[in-house]
């Protein structure tokens, strides 16, 4: 019986062009990973926490969040299970240590990076270089 089920499923997959479908013939959601390296050479961020937020739409809806800590001039981040789509990536480095880890918000004196457009239709690397940061007034 198992062999019949596997043969039937293979036939369905081939007949649908190799794409599996959910209810109503809609494609199943695809999820990907967004990762990268944050670099801060101009401002000493060693030991500081950094927070990233991936948002979509208007008003902005948070799709994924990540936190990391600088070791020297660099910090690595990873966001898993990000649905396929177009997003804006926001990031900041908490230079004064006053951001709440529950709902981090940048404040005066923190390093902020402008929102960066990001298309996620495969695993994506989204580095933020030293020249992308500016001090929040």
Before 59, cis peptide (omega within 30)?
yes
Res 24: pLDDT: 54
Q: First and final CA of the chain: distance in angstroms?
A: 68
Domains annotated for the chain, with CATH where assigned, are: 29-135 (2.60.40.10)
What pLDDT digit, counting tens, does each position of 60-86 carry?
A: 899 999 999 999 999 999 999 999 999
- State the pTM of this model: 0.78
pLDDT tens track for 101-129: 888 999 999 999 999 999 999 999 999 99
CA distance 88 to 60: 9
Q: What contacts 61, CB < 8 A, 6 or more positions away? A: 55
User: Are the C-beta atoms of residues 78 and 56 closer than 8 Å to each other?
Assistant: no
Residue 3 has φ and ψ, to the nearest 5°, of -65, -40
* Higher pLDDT, residue 92 or 13: 92
């Amino acid at each position: 019986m198992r062999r019949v089920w596997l043969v039937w499923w293979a036939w369905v997959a081939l007949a649908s062009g190799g794409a599996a479908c959910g209810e109503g013939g809609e494609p199943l959601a695809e999820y990907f990973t967004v990762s990268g390296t944050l670099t801060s050479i101009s401002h000493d961020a060693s030991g500081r926490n950094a927070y990233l937020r991936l948002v979509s739409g208007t008003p902005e809806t948070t799709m994924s969040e990540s936190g990391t800590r600088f070791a020297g001039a660099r910090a690595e981040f990873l966001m898993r299970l990000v649905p396929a789509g177009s997003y804006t990536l926001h990031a900041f480095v908490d230079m004064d240590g006053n951001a709440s880890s529950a709902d981090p918000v940048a404040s005066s004196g923190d390093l902020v990076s402008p929102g960066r457009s990001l298309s996620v239709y495969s695993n994506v690397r989204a580095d933020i270089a030293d020249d992308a940061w500016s001090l929040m007034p």
